[in-house]
């Protein structure tokens, strides 16, 4: 890092004037070290109401059984698995940002990885609660583990994708948690060394005695890189295995080999959308505009266009293959999706996932905070409908027309789903209060090379190519956190 | 003999701190350790910290996971309770690749992070050994053992000359100890 200046063509990752290391610490720890403001309390109370609804709905399910849901003899799997896949998908962005972008040396990940990883962990918790609550007898949840038992040692069915899924989700959750917590240690130590009294004691225990000496930091970087290396295939495998829950069955509409890549793209798509939904609010409320800049927002929007388009291609491919296969069941399943009684769900999915993200090709929309925020929510609605379409429309018209039916959710179905969003936000808001929402140490790394002030310094020195400087200054126009007057003078 | 145990050079800039390390080393003054709020690249070469072998450990933890899963599944499906599914082979390897992969990653990650915590003595509740509380905030600290290196004025001068904002003479090794 020393004596090495970053190219002026790269857009700055930290904006603002006269930012110091101490200021970075102060600004990021502001919500952790102070009493929460009104906005936080309002959000927290609303989220807590949601979480209460979740407890009531899941409690009701446990007490009365799965019959409390709107399932019938034809549609035996509906909102539960839809919610599960939706949450697991959302849980993909965090590890993608922290692992894949680390391997590709994308430094813009530094200011968004922490909260994205936290979001991953909370989303996977929400997904896991679906698994447990839809078991019917959750107190026997440990039966999914291959434990020696008293039933003549009857093992779990290792050929079943549901067992694979259990392995995949629990590995994903625990590895993400390790990655996240190890990355948090230096920042927890920062809080510890500024705190006093009881707070200091708590953060001392949590910091594992971190002191930031040379060897610890060097090993820390080695560990991060290896964890990134193993998490990259892991994150791809998790949604692959989730898709196999469907793809290894013989239900028309599910039985397709395109599912793994299509699900993975969809997961990244929805994950990034959720990151944007959360971070655009966090950035505003916590005043982190200098760290989560327009460049970050635009980069995430570009990933959304890419993955959204992959998902779109997958939808069309499915249709083509259904026709090309010559299997009439397969053909009917797809015609029924688009034109049958659930046509509205299908077109909702098509509009939200394929058509509206294409608006992000326009730079005006891609760099508008309001438009990005709305589109990110639209994407998440679309991704929920995608799972609903795949699951319910494939099941509701089975092989016997006499058993064709529609699915109507009960209040418990709705309660579990809405409640899980409440659980997610409760956890996320608590996270914002007790842990730094941006990786402090990693952002400090960017200050000397990749910040706006460092680049301004370089421009003032005047040894740079004029055209490149002009291009750089032009790229700053979209930033809402950059004072343009500074550059008008140059 | 003074009671000073450690001399700390507190820098506000990582490049100046690197310069300070060079200055001290040119004058044959041994550096005890360096504490920084973020990883500084190139510092380990200067201080002679050896390359980490955690990658090798990670590989063997991973392989252990692979073997554990394959053995476990073989024992369960082919030895302990073979189930005849349409005459198919009991140990259907392709089916077990996803779970074998997952267990490889799981063992690798836990083994790796466990070894890292063990080798750098990190565990919940460990008393932090901090020489300067700002080392986790905005200061880059070079610590020199004052008992081994007795020419204190020279050390002070070298550190100041390299750009240290502050030079501290600590009578206690770790100020974080109550």
For every residue of chain B, which 3-state class applies, written as one string?
Answer: CCCCCEEEEEECCHHHHHHHHHHHHHCCCCCCEEECCCCCCCHHHHHCCCCCCHHHHHHHHHHHHHHHHHHHHHHHHHHHCCCCCCCCCCCCHHHHHHHHHHHHHHHHHHHHHHHHHHHCCCCCCCCCCCCCHHHHCCCEEEEEECCCCCCHHHHHHHHHHHCCCEEEEECCCCCCCC
Segment 346-385 of chain A within 8 Å of chain B by CB: none
Residues of B in contact with A451 (CB under 8 A): none
Segment 88-107 of chain B within 8 Å of chain A by CB: 92, 95-96, 98-99, 101-103, 105-106
- The number of domains in chain B is 2
Q: Are residues B99 and B66 in the same domain?
A: yes
Residue B176 lies in a domain: no
pLDDT of residue A226 exceeding 60, the answer is: yes
A-B interface: how many C-beta pairs under 8 angstroms? 195
Q: Are residues B58 and B114 in the same domain?
A: yes
Out of A167, A214, A231, closest to residue B49 by CB: A214
Q: Are residues B137 and B108 in the same domain?
A: no
Residues of B in contact with A454 (CB under 8 A): none
Measured between CB atoms, does B138 come within 8 Å of chain A?
yes
What tens digit of pLDDT does each residue of A473-483 get?
888 888 887 77
Residue A16 lies in a domain: no
% of chain A beyond a pLDDT of 90: 49
Segment 142-171 of chain B within 8 Å of chain A by CB: none
Residue B166 lies in a domain: yes
Residue A119 lies in a domain: yes
Looking at the complex, report in whole angstroms how far the Cα of residue B72 sits from the nearest Cα belonging to chain A: 9
What does the pLDDT read at residue A2?
Answer: 42
Q: Are residues B109 and B151 in the same domain?
A: no
pLDDT of residue A282 exceeding 80, the answer is: yes
Closest CA to A112 of A96, A126, A88: A96
C-alpha–C-alpha distance, residues A8 and B1, integer Å: 54
Out of B54, B121, B127, closest to residue A226 by CB: B54
Q: Are residues B115 and B58 in the same domain?
A: yes
Measured between CB atoms, does B123 come within 8 Å of chain A?
yes
Residue B123, C-beta contacts closer than 8 angstroms, at least 6 positions apart: A208, A209, B117
C-alpha–C-alpha distance, residues A220 and B37, integer Å: 13
Measured between CB atoms, does B38 come within 8 Å of chain A?
yes
Q: What is the CATH number of the domain that holds A322?
A: 1.20.1630.10
pLDDT of residue A4 exceeding 70, the answer is: no
What does the pLDDT read at residue A171?
Answer: 93
Q: Residue B141: closest CA among chain A residues belongs to which residue?
A: A213
What tens digit of pLDDT does each residue of A239-256 get?
899 999 999 988 888 888
Q: Are residues B61 and B112 in the same domain?
A: yes
What tens digit of pLDDT does each residue of A159-185 get?
889 899 999 999 999 999 999 999 999
pLDDT-derived band of residue A269, with 50, 70 and 90 as boundaries?
Answer: very high
Interface contact A3-B77, CB threshold 8 A: no
Residues of A in contact with B14 (CB under 8 A): 1-2, 448
SS3 for A139-154 is HHHHHHCCCCCCCCCC
Looking at the complex, report in whole angstroms how far the Cα of residue A79 sits from the nearest Cα belonging to chain B: 26
Q: Are residues B58 and B46 in the same domain?
A: no
Q: Are residues B113 and B62 in the same domain?
A: yes
| Global ipTM | 0.91
Segment 128-147 of chain A within 8 Å of chain B by CB: 146
Segment 196-225 of chain A within 8 Å of chain B by CB: 204-223
Q: Are residues B14 and B32 in the same domain?
A: yes
What tens digit of pLDDT does each residue of A8-51 get?
888 888 888 888 888 889 888 988 888 888 888 999 999 999 99
What does the pLDDT read at residue B1?
Answer: 53
What does the pLDDT read at residue B178?
Answer: 59
Domain that residue B45 falls in: 6-50+126-170
Residues of B in contact with A208 (CB under 8 A): 117, 122-124, 126
Average pLDDT, chain A: 89
What does the pLDDT read at residue A1?
Answer: 42
Q: What is the CATH number of the domain that holds B132?
A: 3.30.70
Residue A331 lies in a domain: yes
Greatest CA separation found in chain B?
A: 87
Is there a contact between A252 and A327 (Cβ–Cβ < 8 Å)?
yes
C-alpha–C-alpha distance, residues A104 and A96, integer Å: 11
Q: Residue B143: closest CA among chain A residues belongs to which residue?
A: A213
Residue B1 lies in a domain: no
SS3 for A256-322 is CCCHHHHHHHHHHHHHHHHHHHHHHHHHHHCCCCCCCCHHHHHHHHHHHHHHHHHHHHHHHHHHHHH
pLDDT of residue A96 exceeding 60, the answer is: yes
Q: Are residues B101 and B143 in the same domain?
A: no
What does the pLDDT read at residue A311?
Answer: 93
Out of B58, B73, B138, closest to residue A21 by CB: B138
* Secondary structure class of A255 (helix, strand, coil): coil
pLDDT of residue A3 exceeding 70, the answer is: no
Segment 450-469 of chain A within 8 Å of chain B by CB: none
Is there a contact between B96 and B70 (Cβ–Cβ < 8 Å)?
yes
Out of A182, A192, A441, closest to residue B128 by CB: A192
C-alpha–C-alpha distance, residues A246 and B136, integer Å: 49
Out of B44, B110, B130, closest to residue A214 by CB: B44
Measured between CB atoms, does A159 come within 8 Å of chain B?
yes
Interface contact B105-A230, CB threshold 8 A: yes
Interface contact A212-B135, CB threshold 8 A: yes
C-alpha–C-alpha distance, residues B22 and B74, integer Å: 58
Interface contact A213-B33, CB threshold 8 A: yes
Candidates B81, B113, B128, B176: best to mutate against A (most CBs of A within 10 A) is B128
Residue B175 lies in a domain: no
Q: Is B28 left (phi over 0), alpha (psi -120 to 50) or beta?
A: left
- The number of domains in chain A is 1
B169: which strand partners? B7
Q: Residue B102: closest CA among chain A residues belongs to which residue?
A: A168
pLDDT of residue A304 exceeding 90, the answer is: yes
Residue A248 lies in a domain: yes
Domain that residue A319 falls in: 38-436
Measured between CB atoms, does B73 come within 8 Å of chain A?
yes
Residue B104 lies in a domain: yes
Residue A337 lies in a domain: yes
Cβ atoms within 10 Å, residue A279: 24
Residue pLDDT tens, chain B, 178 long: 578 888 888 888 888 888 888 888 888 888 888 999 989 888 888 888 888 899 999 999 999 999 999 999 999 888 988 888 888 888 889 989 999 999 999 999 999 999 999 999 999 988 888 888 888 888 898 888 888 888 888 888 888 888 888 888 888 888 776 5
Measured between CB atoms, does A331 come within 8 Å of chain B?
no
Out of A153, A194, A212, closest to residue B36 by CB: A212
What does the pLDDT read at residue B114?
Answer: 94
Residue A243 lies in a domain: yes
Q: Are residues B139 and B110 in the same domain?
A: no
Closest CA to A331 of A397, A269, A382, A403: A397
C-alpha–C-alpha distance, residues A179 and A117, integer Å: 9
What does the pLDDT read at residue B46?
Answer: 85
Interface contact A174-B110, CB threshold 8 A: yes
**Cα separation values, A280 from A86, A229, A377, Å:** 21, 29, 12
Residues of A in contact with B109 (CB under 8 A): 174-175, 178-179, 227, 230-231
C-alpha–C-alpha distance, residues A133 and A416, integer Å: 9
Q: Are residues B59 and B45 in the same domain?
A: no
Is there a contact between A432 and A90 (Cβ–Cβ < 8 Å)?
no
Candidates A4, A21, A188, A448: best to mutate against B (most CBs of B within 10 A) is A21
């Amino acid at each position: 890092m020393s004596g090495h200046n970053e190219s002026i063509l790269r857009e700055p990752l930290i904006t603002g004037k006269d930012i110091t290391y101490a200021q970075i610490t102060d600004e990021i720890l502001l919500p952790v070290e102070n009493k929460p403001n009104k906005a936080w309390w309002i959000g927290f109370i609303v989220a807590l109401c949601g979480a209460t609804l979740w407890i009531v709905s899941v409690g009701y399910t446990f007490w009365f059984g799965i019959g409390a849901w709107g399932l019938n003899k034809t549609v035996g799997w509906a909102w539960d698995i839809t919610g599960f896949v939706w949450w697991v998908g959302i849980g993909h962005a965090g590890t993608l940002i922290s692992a894949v972008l680390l391997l590709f040396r994308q430094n813009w990940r530094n200011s968004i990885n922490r909260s994205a990883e936290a979001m991953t962990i909370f989303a996977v918790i929400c997904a896991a609660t679906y698994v447990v609550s839809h078991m019917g007898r959750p107190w026997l949840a440990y039966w999914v583990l291959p434990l020696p038992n008293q039933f003549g040692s009857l093992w779990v069915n290792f050929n079943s994708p549901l067992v694979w899924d259990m392995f995949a989700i629990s590995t994903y959750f625990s590895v993400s948690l390790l990655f996240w917590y190890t990355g948090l240690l230096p920042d927890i130590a920062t809080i510890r060394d500024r705190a006093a009294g009881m707070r200091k004691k708590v953060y001392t225990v949590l910091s594992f005695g971190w002191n930031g000496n040379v060897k610890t930091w060097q090993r820390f970087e080695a560990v991060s890189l290896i964890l990134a290396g193993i998490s990259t295939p892991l994150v791809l495998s998790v949604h692959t295995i989730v898709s196999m829950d469907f793809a290894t069955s013989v239900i028309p509409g599910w039985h397709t080999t395109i599912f793994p890549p299509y699900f993975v793209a969809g997961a990244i798509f929805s994950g990034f959308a959720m990151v944007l939904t959360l971070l655009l609010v966090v950035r505003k409320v916590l005043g982190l505009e200098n760290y989560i800049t327009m460049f970050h927002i635009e980069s995430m929007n570009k990933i959304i266009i890419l993955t959204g388009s992959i998902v779109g291609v997958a939808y069309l491919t499915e249709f083509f293959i259904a026709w090309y296969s010559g299997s009439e069941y397969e053909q009917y399943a797809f015609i029924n999706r688009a034109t049958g009684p659930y046509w509205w769900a299908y077109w909702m999915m098509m509009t939200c996932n394929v058509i509206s993200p294409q608006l992000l090709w326009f730079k005006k929309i891609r760099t508008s905070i309001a438009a990005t925020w709305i589109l990110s929510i639209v994407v998440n609605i679309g991704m929920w409908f995608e799972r609903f379409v795949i699951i319910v429309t494939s099941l509701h018209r089975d092989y016997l027309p006499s058993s064709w039916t529609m699915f109507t959710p009960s209040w418990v179905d709705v309660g579990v789903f809405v409640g899980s969003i409440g659980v997610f936000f409760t956890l996320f808001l608590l996270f914002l209060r007790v842990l730094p929402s941006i990786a402090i140490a990693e952002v400090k790394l960017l200050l000397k090379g990749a910040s706006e002030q460092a680049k301004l310094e370089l421009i003032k020195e005047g040894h740079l190519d004029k055209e490149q400087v002009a291009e750089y200054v032009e790229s700053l126009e979209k930033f809402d956190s950059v004072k343009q007057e500074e550059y008008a003078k140059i | 003999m003074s009671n000073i145990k450690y001399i700390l050079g507190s820098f506000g800039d990582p490049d100046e701190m690197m310069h300070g390390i060079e200055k001290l080393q040119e004058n044959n003054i041994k550096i005890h350790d360096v504490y920084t709020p973020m990883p500084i690249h190139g510092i380990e070469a200067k201080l002679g910290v050896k390359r980490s072998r955690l990658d090798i450990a990670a590989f063997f933890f991973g392989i252990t996971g692979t073997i554990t899963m394959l053995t476990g599944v073989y024992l369960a499906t082919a030895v302990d309770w073979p189930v005849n599914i349409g005459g198919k082979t009991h140990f259907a390897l392709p089916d077990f690749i996803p779970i074998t992969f997952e267990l490889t990653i799981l063992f690798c990650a836990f083994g790796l992070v466990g070894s890292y915590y063990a080798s750098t003595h990190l565990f919940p509740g460990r008393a932090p050994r901090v020489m300067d509380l700002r080392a986790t905030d905005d200061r880059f600290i070079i610590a020199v053992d004052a008992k081994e290196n007795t020419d204190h004025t020279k050390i002070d001068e070298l550190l100041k000359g390299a750009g240290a904002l502050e030079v501290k003479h600590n009578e206690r090794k770790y100020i974080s100890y109550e």
